[in-house]
Structure 1
Amino acid sequence: MPPIISIRGLTKTYASGFQALKGVDLDIERGEIFALLGPNGAGKTTLISIVCGIVNASSGTVLADGHDIAREYRAARSKIGLVPQELHTEAFESVWAAVRFSRGLFGRKPDPAHLEKVLRDLSLWDKKDSKIAALSGGMKRRVLIAKALAHEPSILFLDEPTAGVDVELRHDMWNMVRGLRERGTTVILTTHYIEEAEEMADRIGVINHGELVVVEDKHTLMRKLGKKQLALTLQQPLAEIPAALADLPLELAQDGAVLVYTFDVQAEETGIAALLRRLGEQGIDFKDLHSSESSLEDIFVSLVREARA
């Protein structure tokens, strides 16, 4: 099947001369959860805003479920739901009125059963008659999600969806996003919480200074770019690493009491076997070992640093 979002040669230069996007090419597949990561000012929100029709691109094309966002704006926009970062909503409207109005904006016929399901899924049903101004920040965030889902979009953008919410609500939202994916909705999220992307995303895109640094399946990315460390607590401390082991990525720690071996995840089996064999040849014994693996956050920081360099 063709991608649900297809972006080609997308650029955005503001009147000030700042180039927020520099020739972005990206395909997002149907039914996936795609996480867009990047530091502040990297271009994440600009990219989302262009796809959602809030900001005009300087050049390039975007198709949303087959519809050009410039030439077929209404058809494209009807396919998209957006949950923005900011908690801007109708303060003195009731939850029910705000969600019902959002559905009507897209020309959808009234469907109280669908709206009730959305509110129940977000634990908002008992708040349906409450004024939005009286809700907590976390509940207001849920209302924004309910509004975005009111017209049954096939694409949902979540721009920093869990910013400022507590851990319990964050996990509730993760479960809700997984449920949407299971029902066929494509979810694109930006987040500063790397563990959020690691927990939920199928694919990861990293953007920096308006350019996509990498787009990769999450597990493939962690396998290709991840590092592992094996820390061996030695029977006898070493003053220095023997010359015969100088070709290995080894470091001494804790005054020579711990030998640290860093290796690619892909080379795990052969690397460890070769290390232990060569340690034995040098008469180096160990009494304990501990392994650790780079997280998605480590990989993200490494990619951004490389891009800056």
Structure 2
Amino acid sequence: MDEINVRLDRHRRWLSQSVGLTAQELGYIDEDLASDSLSGLNNVADSLGMLATYYGIRGEVAVSDGEASGWEDVSSSIMYRYWALMLKAKTFSKTSFLQGIKTVPNLTNQLSIAGCLLAGLIVADRRDLATSVADVLAGMLTINGAVDSSYLEQRRFEPFMLWLYSVYSQGETLSEIKSMDLGIYQNVIDKWTDEQGLAHALEELCQYHLTHAEDRGGAWDPEFKYAPFDLLPVEIHAIFQVRQQLGLTVPAVSSPLLSAETAALEHLVIISDQLAVRVETAYERFFGL
């Protein structure tokens, strides 16, 4: 539990230093929504990312302190990350034709968030939102220029989440995944029908999560560095959820990650709050959906 407690202490300090952040970002969102422009919506996505971090951290701390209301903050955080991703993806699709003419931000920085979002939505069984995220994630893996190629070829977690989604949705597995090196996640696929072997593979994934929940510098971009996914074992519980759905046994797995209060993901209910509804309305109006 040491890694978790250290991270929670850092979160508490960060919260104490972030007074006024929400009011500031909400003010920015008001201005950017009023602009009714593509650049304004892109700015909204950035503000949603900041708010997602704030509410994700606040929710994790509250849940760890035994306050059930913390799950509402976690829900808000996940919804803000969802709409930030949708806005970034749509902005990229509307401007990607400019690549080679001017610098166009791609979706590299959104890749790990998309993987974590997909896991969380599977856990909460939000199939409607999971479908949208899976579509975006598939595009990230297959559309030229969506993600930096040198970055993409190193990734393991995000392609695995698309494999898991294909099992969850009982759809086709993206053909590109079959030739990808999934690293430690390949063990889950290989041991899917071996309960004892799968339990060991999942214990390894828990440890991997704990060691990749913080950006310590270096070349590797940690998959779980963004709250609330740093302390929520969404990918492990997504595997549990899919196996339960299929009528398969869920192996017993021992890990500090699964013993923490933030692992009680049966309390995770993902619903839209007032801000998420405002952003959804603006998204549909601007893009004509």
> Shorter-chain-normalised TM-score: which range?
under 0.3
**TM-score, reference length from structure 1:** 0.26
Larger Rg: 1 or 2?
Answer: 1
Q: Of Structure 1 and Structure 2, which has the larger fraction of its residues in helix?
A: 2
Q: Which has the higher contact order (CA 8 A, sep 6+)?
A: 2
Q: Of Structure 1 and Structure 2, which has the larger fraction of its residues in strand?
A: 1
**TM-score, reference length from structure 2:** 0.28
